[in-house]
């Protein structure tokens, strides 16, 4: 075991690739998990084996992956799961969601403080808090769904809450399997307890195939669909992401944005261009982690949502991002809505939909606390709040005037794309350079200019501009939908079969 606790078996490969051994361990575990997932689906199919065996195998393999990547720090994962199970079976059902939420968030924050300040940042490359963040999402999500299913009246629940509500306390094996299975232990993605149990017990295709049979048999295959196409496509995306990460990160290190010589000698346009490219170079590692995790689940037969209008199977139950919409976002909302989708849904379910006071501010605060204790994270989320409000004000006041013709609309889209990319890059640098000194130095080199511009726009632009007569109704957006910028719009996607894929997410 290395200093970070994980295995050093792949240290020669990590030195050859010039990557931390923790990142290589993660990638190799996910690739092995992909192979194991195909075996899991074929040889431990629900029609061939008992669901208890599926739970046991998934859990043990998940623990093995965690130990290989994080070594002794795996105890933090198991500790949180066991602690929250004790809370779940002892606390009154009417209070289960509150106690589970507070204890899970306190446990996560304590572990993040230990990692950052006790280990003095030495464990950052291994980042064992990453799996803890997903486990925290799962245990709190389940607690709220148990409260919905056992402590609330059916008439009080919305459509999503009714579908996700859990009607009985999980047994310990089911609980361990849900939180520690090999498909999601390293990078998620977050999924609901009901969906996971349906998958383990072989019921996840039943409803979708029932809907499919209502269509013509030659267009809607009645049998379990193959996931090879979806997995192959996602592996291709991962390959491109690895290449971009290895090439761009060395050529365009983000820390160069705070280099004194570069700041003193480069012009503003050159600095802006470098800022965009260097932050772009950081995103492929997230694309890889989320996409390979999605592919592992799909290979195991988990993630099927039905068929599209052409009769092709869709495997996007818990997809975490839409890369095209992220890279070509023309607004902060569009970028946020297509980044880390499952976290946005979690924030909506446990905070926004239930918070009795200022749900928008509470949701941003929870997101910041969940991410960790590095000061740069708070710089990013505070800055993101200002940028989102400013972007909303600009859009509401200026966009109607550019809808008079396709040419004007295209010009507007190009300008807003360029502006959004600069603003996002400016916002997320402290997230990548998370210590107080580097975050503050970066913003100071830009004289906090975008912060000042954002505040001025928020204060100066009218809150409720008059719509122009020529503005088409379809381009108008209500205040409510803007408030729900990083939380709304995705509950129906998970239950409908014939809708288009429109994935919202949030800055990570």
Long-range contacts from 196-202, C-beta under 8 angstroms, 24+ separation: 196/302, 199/300, 199/301, 199/302, 200/46, 200/51, 200/54, 200/55, 200/58, 200/174, 201/46, 201/51, 202/45, 202/46, 202/47, 202/51
Q: How far apart are CA 165 and CA 158, in angstroms?
A: 10
Q: How far is CA 53 from CA 40, 60, 200, 298, in A?
A: 11, 11, 10, 20
Q: How far apart are CA 57 and CA 59, in angstroms?
A: 5
In the set 371, 485, 486, 503, the catalytic residue is 371
> Are the C-beta atoms of 254 and 281 separated by less than 8 Å?
yes
DSSP state of 350: I
Residues near 255 by beta carbon (within 8 Å), at least 6 away in sequence: 433, 438
Question: Distance between alpha carbon 312 and the CA centroid of its chain, in Å?
Answer: 25
Other CB atoms within 10 Å distance of the CB of residue 23: 20
Query: With the C-alpha atoms ordered 63, 67, 72, 73, is the resulting torsion angle positive or negative?
Result: negative
In the set 179, 194, 297, 340, the catalytic residue is 340
Q: How far apart are CA 133 and CA 128, in angstroms?
A: 9
Asked if 371 is an active-site residue, the reply is yes
* Nearest-10 crossing angle of helices 74-90, 172-180: 140
Q: Burial of 257 by CB count in 10 Å (0-12 exposed, 13-18 middle, 19+ buried)?
A: buried
Asked if 97 is an active-site residue, the reply is no
> Are the C-beta atoms of 93 and 151 separated by less than 8 Å?
yes
> Are the C-beta atoms of 90 and 99 separated by less than 8 Å?
no
Q: Burial of 427 by CB count in 10 Å (0-12 exposed, 13-18 middle, 19+ buried)?
A: buried
Q: Cite the active site residues.
A: 340, 371
């Amino acid at each position: 075991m290395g200093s970070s606790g994980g295995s050093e078996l792949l240290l020669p490969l990590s030195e050859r690739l010039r990557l931390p051994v923790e990142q290589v361990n993660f990638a190799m575990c996910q690739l092995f998990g992909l192979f194991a997932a195909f075996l899991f689906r074929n040889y431990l199919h629900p029609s061939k084996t008992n669901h208890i065996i599926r739970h046991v195998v998934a859990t043990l393999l998940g623990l093995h992956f965690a130990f290989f990547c994080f070594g002794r720090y795996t105890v933090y994962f198991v500790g949180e799961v066991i602690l929250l199970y004790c809370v779940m079976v002892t606390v009154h059902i009417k209070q289960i969601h509150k106690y589970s939420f507070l204890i899970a968030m306190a446990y996560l924050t304590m572990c993040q403080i230990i990692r950052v300040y006790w280990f003095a940042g030495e464990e950052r490359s291994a980042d064992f808090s990453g799996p803890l963040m997903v486990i925290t999402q799962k245990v709190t999500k389940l607690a709220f769904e148990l409260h919905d299913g056992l402590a609330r009246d059916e008439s009080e629940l919305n459509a999503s809450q009714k579908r996700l509500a859990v009607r009985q306390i999980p047994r310990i094996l089911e609980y361990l399997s849900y939180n520690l299975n090999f498909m999601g232990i390293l990078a998620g993605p977050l999924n609901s307890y009901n969906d996971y149990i349906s998958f383990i017990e072989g019921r996840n295709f039943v409803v979708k195939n029932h809907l499919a049979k209502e269509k013509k048999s030659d267009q809607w295959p009645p049998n379990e669909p193959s996931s090879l196409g979806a997995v192959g496509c996602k592996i291709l995306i991962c390959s491109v992401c690895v290449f971009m990460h290895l090439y761009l990160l060395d050529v365009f290190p983000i820390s160069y944005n705070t280099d004194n010589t570069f700041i003193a000698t480069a012009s503003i346009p050159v600095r802006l261009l470098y800022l965009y490219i260097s932050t772009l170079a950081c995103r492929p590692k997230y694309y890889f982690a989320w996409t390979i995790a999605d592919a592992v689940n799909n290979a195991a037969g988990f993630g099927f949502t039905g068929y599209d209008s052409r009769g092709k199977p869709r495997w996007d139950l818990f997809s975490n991002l839409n890369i095209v919409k992220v890279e070509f976002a023309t607004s902060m909302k569009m970028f946020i809505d297509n980044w880390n989708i499952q976290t946005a849904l979690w924030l909506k379910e446990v905070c926004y939909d239930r918070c009795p006071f200022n749900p928008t501010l509470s949701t941003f605060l929870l997101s910041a606390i969940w991410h960790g204790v590095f000061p740069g994270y708070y710089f990013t989320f505070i800055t993101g709040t200002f940028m989102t409000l400013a972007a909303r004000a600009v859009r509401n006041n200026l966009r109607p005037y550019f809808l008079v013709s396709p040419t004007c609309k295209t010009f507007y889209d190009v300008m807003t794309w360029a502006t959004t990319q600069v603003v996002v890059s400016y916002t997320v640098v402290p997230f990548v350079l998370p210590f107080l000194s580097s975050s503050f130095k970066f913003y100071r080199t830009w004289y906090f200019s975008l912060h000042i511009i954002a505040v001025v726009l928020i204060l100066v632009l009218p809150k409720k501009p008059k719509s122009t007569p020529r503005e088409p109704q379809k381009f108008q957006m209500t205040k409510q939908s803007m408030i729900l910028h990083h939380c709304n719009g995705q509950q129906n996607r998970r239950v409908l079969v014939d809708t288009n894929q429109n994935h919202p997410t949030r800055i990570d």
